[in-house]
Amino acid sequence: MTTRRSFLTANLAGAAGWALKPHSASAPGKAAEPAEILPRSQRDFWNDWPDYLTRRISEARARRLADLAGIETAAQARQRARRVRSKVWDLIGGPPPRSPLNSQITGRIDRGSYRIEKVIFESLPQVYVTSNLYLPASGTPPFPAVLAPLGHTEDGKAYRNYQYFYQNLARKGYVVLAFDPYGQGERIQYLDPATGKSRYGPTGEHDQAGRPLLLVGNTFALYRVWDGIRALDYLLTRSEVDAARVGCTGHSGGGTMTMYLAALEPRLRAAVVVEGNSEDVAGAFYDPPGAVDDAEQDLVGGLPLGIDRGDLLWAFAPKPLLLCYTTHDEGETYSPVYEEATLEIYRTLEQVYALFGAQDKAGLFASHLPHDLDFFQRQATYGWFNRWLGNGGAGTEEVEFDSSPESSLDCTSTGQVLTSLGGRSVVQVNSDRARQMMPESHFASATPDVESIRREFQGSISGLLALPRDRTPLRSKLLSSNQRKDVVIEEVQIESEPDVRVVGWFVWRQGSDSPRPAVLFISDAPDDAVAEPGSLDRILGKGSAVYAISLRGSGITTPRLPRGGPRYYESRRYLRERFAWTSLVLGLPLIGQRVWDTLRAMDYLASRPDVNASEIRILGSGAPGLAALLAAVIDDRARSLLLDHTLVSYLSVVTSEDYSLPLDWFVSGILRKFDLPDVVASLSPRTCWLLNTVDPQGQVLAESSVRQSYSQRLGPASPFPGHVEIWTEPDRTVERVYLEWLART
C-alpha cells in the first residue's frame, strides 16, 4: 500500500535536479513545469506557526510593558488596577447574581485544639459546594481567617498536605475555610460508574467543562472565582471571623485562584500565592506554545487588552502579598522557565509596590523541593499571615499530623454531591448559561431578509475570529509536480500571512484546454486524499480540479515541539491544544487563523488562469468543515458547500457530557451571536449539503435528527427543502453524493 510518506519520498526523489522558480499557474490542459524540490532548510514548515505566534506574543509583550512603563504614580497605579479588575471580569464572564447560600452544617469533628465543621453551601442555585471549616478551640474571637482555594488534587480538601496546613493554621488561631472545586473531592462531575472516580482527573475535568463555556464567551475561571467569592461570603457570616483580617492562600491551581481573587475580591487583606501559575504568557522566555495551562488558568483574550497573569497580582498592590515558588519544578507542572518567569513578575511587583511606598508588603520565597505544599512553603505562609493579619505571637512551628480516613471529612452521605444531593452538574450549568445568553435566531421570522443577515454575519464572524483586515501577497510557488497516469499533482505553497506558508496539492486531469471548475478540499488529511487513487478521482473525472490544503498547524505544517523541557512532550494532540490556548489568549482563535488560510486558498484558485473562478466549490470534511462553513459565509465566491462528517451545532457540544471536538475548532463567544444552523441558513440562495452530519461524539446522526436540530433553532425559516440538503450515506458510497453535488450545484 502506498502511504503518504512513501508518496512524498518518491515525489521528492523524482524532483531532484529541477530548477526552482516562483509558481506560475499552468496553462489550461498542460502540466506545470517541474520545479526543483526546496532544500530542507526551506521546507521547515513546522517552524512557521511557532514563529508566527512568537511574533504576536512579542508584540503583545511590548505593548504591555510600554503601558506599565507609563505608570509613574500611585494614583495611576490605582487607576490601572481598577481597569484590570473590570477587564478581567469581562474576560471571564462577569459576576453572576448573588443567590441565597442555603448553608448547612452536616457534621462536626472535635480534635481538641481545633474543630472541623462540614459545611455545604450553594455558590449558584442548586450548585452545592462541599467545604471544611477549621475553627480554633481556644483564644478569643473574632479570629483572623484564611480562605483556601485548592490545587488540582483528586481528593480535594482531604489532600494530606493541605489538611496538615489547615490543621496548623487552626492551632495558631486562624479560621480556615477549604472548599472543593468542580471536578475534585466531593464535586466530581464526570463520574465513572464502575470505579466511582473521575473519568478525566481534576485538570481534565476543568478542561472538559471549560472548553464548551468558551462558546458563550466565558471561561472556567468564572466558576472557580465565584465559588471563592461565595465561600468568602459564607466565611464572613461567621461570628468567629474578624472581617478586617481575612487572607487568602492556595497552592498550585489554588495559587492561581488566589491570584484571581486578589485582583477581583476587595475584601481580602493579605494573600500568599504558593506555586501558582505565576508566569506571564507573553513573558521574556517565550517558547511556543508557552506557559498556557488548563481552562481556568488562561486569560482568554487578555493580551489584546494588555493584561497578562502578572496583572492579577499587580492589581492587589499595596496589600501584603507573598509570592512563593519552587526552583525544582523542572517543567513537570509549569513551563521549563517557571523560576525565571516568576522572578520577572516579582520584579514588576516590586516596582508598583514602590510607588505606594510599600516595598515591605511584597515578598518572595523559594522552596527547593518538588511541586507541593511542602514544609518550607507552609512555614513561610504562617509567618506572612502572622505578620500581616495581626497574629504575631502564633509562631511558625508545626505539630504532628492528625490522621484520619479521608472520608471522615466528607460533607455528603455518599462522598459525592451528584449521587447524594443531586443539584445541577457543571454540564447543566453550562447548558443553562448558554441558553440564557443565546439570542433568538435571526431566521425566526417567517420572511427573514437573508441578504442583510448574511452581511451582518460576515461582520460578526470576522470579529469573532479576529480575521486580518488586509490580504498580503500570496507569493505562490510550485514546489513539485508529478503525474499519476493522466492526473497531474502539483505541490503548491502560498503565504496566508507573511511567513506563514500553507502547503497544498492542486490536482487535475489532463484533457481539456478550457478553464475548469475547482473544488477546494478542507480536511485533516488532504494530502493522502488527493495523492492516492480514491473518491476524489471521480471528481477529477467530471472535469473539476481539486485543491487540497493543510490548514495551519495540521499535516505538513504541524508545529515543532518546544525546544526545552519535558512538559509539552506528552503527545502531539496535547501540544496542539496548547497552541490553541495560546491563540485564544492572543485573541486570535485558531479556527480563525484556519478560516483565513481557507480564504487565501480561494484567492489562489481565483488567480489561476486554468480555473473558472465562477465555479469554485468547497468540500469540508470532519471538524475542518467548520472552517469551510465560516469561510463560505464570508466569501461569496464559494458557489456551493458540502460538509461531510461535520458537527451539527455548537450548542450540542455545550449540552453534551461527552464530546470529541478538539479545542482547535471552538469559537469563543459564537453562541452569543448564532449557532451553526443559523450560519448554514445564511448561505442562501447558495446551496449547502450536509452529508453524514455528526453529534458531539462524532457519531453520524440520522437525517431526522439533523432536521430536528435545524428546525428547533430556525423555526419556520428552516431551510428545507430549499438550499440545504441532508444526506446520510455509508462511507463507501459518499463519492456518489460528491458527484451529485457537483452536478446539481
Given this model, what pLDDT does residue 33 score?
A: 42
- Has residue 615 been placed in a domain? yes
- Has residue 694 been placed in a domain? yes
- The rounded distance, in Å, linking the Cα atoms of 175 and 383 is 16
Task: Determine the structural domain holding residue 465 and report its residue range.
Answer: 452-470+515-744
Q: How many CA atoms lie within 13 A of 429 on its CB side?
A: 23
Given this model, what pLDDT does residue 594 score?
A: 98
Max CA distance (Å), the chain: 95
Helix (H) or strand (E) holding 612: strand 611-621
Beta-bridged to residue 247, according to DSSP, are 146, 270
Task: Check whether residue 619 and residue 716 sit in a common domain.
Answer: yes
Task: Check whether residue 371 and residue 232 sit in a common domain.
Answer: yes
Please tell me the total count of domains within the chain: 2
- Has residue 61 been placed in a domain? no
- Has residue 70 been placed in a domain? no
Task: Check whether residue 173 and residue 322 sit in a common domain.
Answer: yes
Read off the CATH number of the domain in which 683 is found.
3.40.50.1820
Task: Check whether residue 457 and residue 409 sit in a common domain.
Answer: no
Task: Check whether residue 466 and residue 416 sit in a common domain.
Answer: no
Task: Check whether residue 431 and residue 527 sit in a common domain.
Answer: no
Task: Check whether residue 254 and residue 393 sit in a common domain.
Answer: yes
Task: Check whether residue 571 and residue 648 sit in a common domain.
Answer: yes
**Residue partners of 391: CB distance under 8 A and separation at least 6:** 144, 172, 173, 174, 245, 385
Q: Is 135 exposed, middle or buried (0-12, 13-18, 19+ CB in 10 A)?
A: buried
Confidence (pTM):
0.92
- Has residue 483 been placed in a domain? no
Residue with cell 447558495: 686
**Which of 410, 435, 460 delimits the end of a domain?**
435
Given this model, what pLDDT does residue 205 score?
A: 96
Given this model, what pLDDT does residue 37 score?
A: 55
**Which of 392, 409, 435 delimits the end of a domain?**
435
- The rounded distance, in Å, linking the Cα atoms of 249 and 168 is 14
Given this model, what pLDDT does residue 511 score?
A: 83
Given this model, what pLDDT does residue 717 score?
A: 62
Given this model, what pLDDT does residue 2 score?
A: 33
Given this model, what pLDDT does residue 529 score?
A: 73
- The rounded distance, in Å, linking the Cα atoms of 547 and 505 is 6
Mean pLDDT split into 10-residue runs, the chain, 745 residues: 31 28 38 49 89 97 97 98 98 97 98 98 98 97 98 96 98 98 97 92 95 97 98 98 98 98 98 97 94 94 98 98 90 84 97 98 96 97 98 95 96 97 97 96 86 96 97 95 90 96 94 91 82 77 93 91 63 79 98 98 97 97 97 97 98 97 97 97 95 97 95 78 88 89 95
- Has residue 538 been placed in a domain? yes
Q: Which grid cell sits at 696?
A: 458531539
Task: Check whether residue 193 and residue 314 sit in a common domain.
Answer: yes
Given this model, what pLDDT does residue 535 score?
A: 66
Q: Is the peptide bond before 318 cis (omega within 30 degrees of 0)?
A: yes
Task: Check whether residue 461 and residue 524 sit in a common domain.
Answer: yes
Task: Check whether residue 714 and residue 609 sit in a common domain.
Answer: yes
- Has residue 71 been placed in a domain? no
- Has residue 441 been placed in a domain? no
How far is the CA of 743 from the CAs of 542, 640, 739, in angstroms?
A: 9, 11, 6
Task: Check whether residue 430 and residue 457 sit in a common domain.
Answer: no
